[in-house]
Amino acid sequence: MTQIDFYTILPVSVLIVWSCILLLVDAFASKDNKGLTALLAATGLALTLGFSLSQLGNNSVGFNGMVVLDGFSNFLNILFLLTGLFAVAVAYAYLKRMNINHGEYYSIILFCLSGMMLMSQATDLIITFLALELLSIPLYVLAALAQTRGESQEAGIKYFLLGSYATGFIVYGIALTFGATGTTSFAGIAAAIAAGAASKGLLTAGAGLILVGFGFKIASVPFHMWTPDVYQGAPTPVTAFMAAGAKAAGFAALMRVFGSVFPSLATDLMPVLAVLSALSMIVGNVIAIAQTDIKRMLAYSSIAQAGYILMAFVPFADPKVRLVSVASGLFYLVAYTITSFGSWGVVIAMEKAEGKGLAIEDYAGMGKKYPLLAAAMTIFMLSLTGLPPTLGLVGKIYLFRAIMEGGVYWLAIVGVITSLISAYYYLRVIVVMYMKSGDPVLARDTWLELAIGISAVATVLISLVPQSLFSWASQALLTIF
């Protein structure tokens, strides 16, 4: 391994080594001293974040073109590491309260993050697949972390079985792409397509199968069936990490692969992506209305949000709006990640040791008893709906503008109508908090409350000056297009 190779994957390498050290430390730590493991995990994430920030503005290619360090990977790696810090912050008190305070949680989170980061840097389909498995396999374990709860074990089994099935589609898609072009390198595939040496039929089939596999990871319809049960059964900090971090990683891989490899198939894939986007928005928002459990409601909400982000890929065939459209999707992805983690943080605070406190009606009286927490949850619900003064509103404006500039007016109409539908179940939470009487009991935790507060403040403040984030997203995508 040369110096350039090492520099290209420096943050990923640091995180993997730190994860292994953390496992050894936890093995010798006492059962009552898991706080040390959490602190060391946060330290490792902060250290890795420092390395990633130091690489801003630098570009390099490593391992014979199989991984790359560029603006896109830097942007996503920073987002992933921040979600990792939030995942550690919201978990410690919860795991202790639920009697599942296993130190392995923190090591597994770090392994997941290393897979996510590698997905953003991969420029070869084989590396993309390996990174996807490095992300997915630890997540299967995390979903079943609460071994004494049948729902958690069921979530782990369902996620593992359906995830393995989806992986098969990706492997088969990679095989067909290799058969069509003779290479798995992104640059090699693009060169074969440009030279007319690729088999169009095999290439289209391969791209379609890869899209199916990614559709499972981002939980878009009709590949969403695992989402409600897994989100409900998994420990809530794990669910938060899946809903925010893992979904962001899936979209990162989707942007990298389809932006670098399959732009010539954009016209063929546009109708498929448009249908997937519309179905995700409709199904997710409509079914969410009937949910009385907050975790299942947010699960269907995440399906709908995947549909909104998928809108960004639909005008991909038009070079004039391609960059603005995908940058809008990347911007909205950040907005959703921040908002999602904040809302799941409130759910963690309200969940009781006996597994209660998850019904929407349990939030009655929160506005009076815990006004700051209720205000934060209000901000998150408004942002997910797309109402001011939140980041979600700005993100949807960018998305709808891009989709209309691309001429896909019907999909923009679907997006607006489904956003109106979503207002019913998002605003219902606010109504319950402020207009119904109750006596909710909050699990107080300084780090959890800090994470919720930071998310709420960021959701409002960034919406007031969104141009900087959008410009950064646009600059990051220039390295792909």
**Predicted pLDDT of residue 32:** 67
**Predicted pLDDT of residue 354:** 59
- How large is the average pLDDT for residues 169-180? 92
pLDDT tier for residue 458 given thresholds of 50, 70 and 90 = very high
pLDDT tier for residue 329 given thresholds of 50, 70 and 90 = very high
pLDDT tier for residue 478 given thresholds of 50, 70 and 90 = confident
Which tens digit of pLDDT belongs to each residue from 395-454? Answer: 999 999 999 998 889 999 999 999 999 999 999 999 999 999 888 888 778 889 999 999
pLDDT tier for residue 262 given thresholds of 50, 70 and 90 = confident
Distance CA 42, CA 47 (A): 9
Q: Count CA atoms within 13 Å of residue 99 on its CB side.
A: 7
Percent of the chain with pLDDT over 90: 56
Count the Cβ atoms, other than its own, within 10 Å of residue 348.
Answer: 23
Distance CA 454, CA 139 (A): 25
For residue 355, pLDDT beyond 80: no
Kindly report which listed range (79-83, 117-121, 200-204, 271-275) carries the lowest average pLDDT score: 200-204
**Predicted pLDDT of residue 287:** 95
**Predicted pLDDT of residue 481:** 67
**Predicted pLDDT of residue 353:** 63
pLDDT tier for residue 14 given thresholds of 50, 70 and 90 = very high
For residue 356, pLDDT beyond 80: no
Burial 396-420 (b: 16+ CB within 10 A, else e): bebbbebbebbebeebbebbeebbe
- How large is the average pLDDT for residues 78-101? 89
Q: Which two tokens stand for residue 139?
A: 């997540």
**Predicted pLDDT of residue 294:** 93
For residue 203, pLDDT beyond 70: yes
pLDDT tier for residue 73 given thresholds of 50, 70 and 90 = very high
Q: What residue segments make up the domains of the chain, in order of their start? A: 266-481
**Predicted pLDDT of residue 148:** 79
